[in-house]
Amino acid sequence: MSRADCASKIKLDGIRIARVSTVPFFVVTQLKQQLAMLGEAGADVLVITSPSDELSVLGKMRGVRCKPIEIPRAIAPVRDSIALFRLFRLFKKEHTQIAHSTTPKAGLLTALAAFLAGVPIRLHTFTGQPWVNMHGIKAWLTRSSDRLIAKLNTHCYADSASQKDFLIAQGIIDSEKITVIAQGSLAGVDTQRFQREKFSSAQNVALRHKLGIPVDAPVILFLGRITIDKGVRELLQAFTEIKALGNSAHLLLVGPLDVASGVAGAIELSDIERIADTHWVDYTDLPEAYIAIADMLCLPSYREGFGTVVIEAGAMGVPTVGTEIYGLTDAIVKGETGLLVAPKNTEALTAALLTLLDNPAQCQNMGQAALHRARTMFDAQIVNQQVIAEYQAVLQRHGINADE
């Protein structure tokens, strides 16, 4: 019997787990089902992230509690120190047995606080490195932060094999201290939720009408934080060129305007509204409704640990045009489930989007290949069961049993 098959029988009764992330949006959109499965396995899960109304959906799940602690994304010595102290105090109070962080700033503060608090199992999942596109002292500081995360934690994970190899090659972490769970991704995709069949033609037409998109117009979808490092600037430039050619496509951007990303400059609503046939929708807890009306996803990111949205779209038969960077090269099979272009290359991005717009049959075939890959390799039940199995294995290595 495989490890994934065994995982459903594994229990984490009474194990006190703290899951820490900087961004609430990230927790709700990426980790919700995984947290629910940990709670169902009997763990006492404490979610720690910055305050947000989005967290209300997590507190309703069995075995899951939320504790808002402001974790600044940018460097902020005073506020960082306060967050560090509050994390330390909380880990001590809760007698935390596993502290598991994601996102860079939460990773650093959690590693420090958990080490000082004597948390026996300290884990971090790398989901992309912001220093890849930085220079000077800021790049040095963020690289050093990742090295410290690697040093202080008892083990680390990457959400893609290519990211793991990159971190090892860059000297951030030793090979024996980092692994990838399952085939990659942070928590897989809920294939019961992301199904195109769940949305009728009438529902799709109604949504198009609400957005002002004609029924027969091709739709390019961006889904995620609207920010510079997600490649949104290049996407807007590429779409401007596509419209200049008289193409009937519409661009739909779904996600929060992320003005606090820490990257120089920001995407403003005015940047979107000035381009014809471009639409913006703020954060939604029903992204699958927008995927259902899309012909293709576009994710021209500068950095990406894996790109979960790619397999969410794939599970609904939608191919992706992305950038050829580590992480996305694991999520997208070039020429099979989508197209890959060089990052920050508007000309190449324009050409790739036009390739699929001008060849609907190729676009559909890639979508079907993406659907098969998502369902066979990245089903959330399998991935999250393997996360639970990994927790159990780590607990056993440290001599900690359930209900201790």
Q: Which residue has the tokens 């460097």?
A: 75
Say if 201 falls within a structural domain: yes
Task: Give residue 304's pLDDT.
Answer: 87
Would you say residue 263 has pLDDT above 90? Answer: no
Instruction: Give the pLDDT band of residue 183 (cuts 50, 70, 90).
Output: confident
Task: Give residue 186's pLDDT.
Answer: 84
Domain region containing 250: 196-377
Q: Where are the alpha helices (DSSP H) in 134-268?
A: 136-152, 161-169, 201-211, 232-244
Q: Contact, 84 vs 112, CB < 8 A?
A: yes
**Phi and psi dihedrals of 178, rounded to 5?**
-140, 135
Say if 126 falls within a structural domain: yes
Say if 331 falls within a structural domain: yes
Each residue's pLDDT tens digit, 49-83: 998 877 777 777 888 999 999 999 888 899 999 99
Q: Is there a single domain that holds both residue 223 and residue 324?
A: yes
Strands 250-254 and 155-158: what pairing? unpaired
Distance CA 7, CA 276 (A): 50
User: Which of helix, strand or coil describes residue 317?
Assistant: coil
Q: Is there a single domain that holds both residue 373 and residue 391?
A: no
Kindly report the CATH number assigned to the domain that includes residue 177: 3.40.50.2000
Task: Give residue 5's pLDDT.
Answer: 46
Q: Is there a single domain that holds both residue 23 and residue 95?
A: yes
Task: Give residue 28's pLDDT.
Answer: 83
Distance CA 155, CA 119 (A): 13
- CB under 8 Å to 240, separation ≥6 — which residues? 275
Q: Where are the alpha helices (DSSP H) in 170-275?
A: 201-211, 232-244, 269-273
Mean per-residue pLDDT over the chain, rounded: 92
Q: Where are the beta strands (DSSP E) in 257-337?
A: 278-281, 296-299, 320-323
334-367 burial, b at 16+ Cβ within 10 Å, e below that, comes to: eeebbbbbebebbebbbebbbebbeeeeebeebb
Number of domains in the chain: 2
Task: Give residue 57's pLDDT.
Answer: 75
Of 25, 312, 330, 63, nearest to 182 by C-alpha is 330
